[in-house]
Structure 1
């Protein structure tokens, strides 16, 4: 593993342990050249998946982008990092087990929306505002009203 500080090719694993959700292995490493310590994560990748963007551009599926989007939507919401990791791992697993080598970014966006809807309503609205490209305050109002109405209907069923 290349050192992120000096770019030396060799590092020594000092400690390995599973992450909280057991979806990855966390490794503490030390560079053999400069002595710096850093952490890496090893995850299972079931298949290579290509994401088809709305403009037709194709990019490899990137878990880091998904992590970043979810983290941004949940910023300052007091949601445990473990729950965010579980959400992202679940979406990644669904993407990789669909059996398709290509998936639309819209489908991934809907998976994120479904996960955030169950996790936190404010994070859900934040993500939706970017994903659905809200242009004016009325768009927020309409979306929030629809969520409140759905919540009321679900409460009536309980």
Structure 2
């Protein structure tokens, strides 16, 4: 680490501490040349994949856009904020664990639909109707039938 005062390259770590949350390491350093002390912080930098839209354009992943989609679909539905946070966290974990640098917006939409189906069937239908651009009532009926089939208890008990 280069000294911020004299720009000498040789600095020594004299103390290391982990934050209470465990996600940041604080290091006190001393410059071997000018003997001044300074603090550095080390934290993990997680890079979400870039979202590739249907038209081929690329945009940065934005957690607040994902949350807004959930909130719109779940408007006036009895779903807790904790459940929404958990669903968003599961999606973000899947995006990070994929290791991909880019992800198609269609795939992200499928992840959202999967989570909404788990949270609230009405919200799932709302989101699917816009996401899949339903053109007539038969497409709504198919989506409702899909949800109903998923809700039926299995006979193999």
**Residues 56 and 45 (structure 1), Cα distance of their counterparts in 2 relative to 1, 3 Å cut:** same
Name 1:79's counterpart in structure 2.
79
Q: Is the 8 A contact 1:49 1:100 kept in 2?
A: yes
SS at match of 2:76: coil
Q: Is the 8 A contact 2:51 2:60 kept in 1?
A: yes
**Residues 47 and 112 (structure 1), Cα distance of their counterparts in 2 relative to 1, 3 Å cut:** same
Q: Quote the offset at 1:52 in angstroms.
A: 0.2
Q: Quote the offset at 1:151 in angstroms.
A: 2.2
Structure whose CA Rg is larger = 2
Name 2:57's counterpart in structure 1.
57
Q: Quote the offset at 1:143 in angstroms.
A: 1.3
SS at match of 2:135: coil
Q: Quote the offset at 1:157 in angstroms.
A: 4.0
Name 1:140's counterpart in structure 2.
140
Name 1:105's counterpart in structure 2.
105
SS at match of 2:109: helix
- Shift >6 Å, 4+ stretches: none
SS at match of 2:155: helix
Compute the TM-score of the two structures, normalised by the length of structure 2: 0.67
2: CA distance, partners of 1:103 / 1:122 = 27
Q: Quote the offset at 1:48 in angstroms.
A: 3.8
Q: Identify unmatched segments of 5+ residues in structure 2.
A: 1-20, 22-43
1:156 counterpart = 2:155: yes
SS at match of 2:138: helix
Name 1:131's counterpart in structure 2.
131
Q: Quote the offset at 1:45 in angstroms.
A: 5.5
Q: Quote the offset at 1:92 in angstroms.
A: 1.2
* Number of residues of Structure 1 aligned to a counterpart in Structure 2: 116
Counterparts of residues 30-49 of structure 1 (less than 5 Å): 46-49=46-49
Name 1:91's counterpart in structure 2.
91
Q: Quote the offset at 1:135 in angstroms.
A: 1.2
1: CA distance, partners of 2:53 / 2:134 = 19
Compute the TM-score of the two structures, normalised by the length of structure 1: 0.67
